[in-house]
Amino acid sequence: MNKNEIIDDLIIKWVNIADRDLMAAEQGLKVYPVLAEIVCFHCQQAAEKYLKAYLVKHQVEFRKTHSIMSLINLCSTVDGVFKDKLLYADLLTDYAVEIRYPDEWYEPTIEEAKNAYRVACEVKQFVLDLIHMDK
């Protein structure tokens, strides 16, 4: 495999894993009771991975992070439109870690979970359009 093939393969892997997180979130919204914190967590994970796929595409190194804003800032070094279009997606960051542990546990509402899912879907479409992937 040449360098471009390796990069393309890695992008596909990031997107596929992100798609699985988004699928888990979607399924979580269809069951009763809705475990909103789990749905929100998977939405954050999906958005994070789509953004990382974009960074891989453009060979921008990133550190291990769950911060959507940090990833948006890195993506903006390639294309400033990220800050114009996705700043609001940072609301997903709090669902990465904080809501999953008892010292800072917070239970989002079903409406928050639905909003998180909508935002994650928007991040997905935005990124896939820019990296020219159809899903």
Q: How far apart are CA 9 and CA 116, in angstroms?
A: 28
Q: Is pLDDT above 60 for 4? A: yes
CATH code of the region 3-131: 1.20.120.330
Per-residue pLDDT at 135: 53
How would you write the chain as a 3-class SS string? CCHHHHHHHHHHHHHHHHHHHHHHHHHHHCCCCCCHHHHHHHHHHHHHHHHHHHHHHCCCCCCCCCCHHHHHHHHHCCCCHHHHHHHHHHHHHHHCCHHHCHHHCCCCCHHHHHHHHHHHHHHHHHHHHHHCCCC
Interval 108-135 mean pLDDT:
92
Place 104 in a pLDDT band, splitting at 50, 70 and 90. low
Separation of alpha carbons 91 and 98, rounded Å: 12
Domain extent listing, the chain: 3-131
Query: What integer is the mean pLDDT of 22-51?
Result: 97
Q: How far is CA 87 from CA 30, 76, 81, 92, in A?
A: 28, 11, 10, 11
Give the rounded percent of residues in the chain with a pLDDT score beyond 90: 81
When pLDDT is averaged across residues 90-110 and rounded to a whole number, the result is: 80
Please give the average per-residue pLDDT across 97-124, as a whole number.
Answer: 86
Q: What is the mean pLDDT of residues 38-51?
A: 97
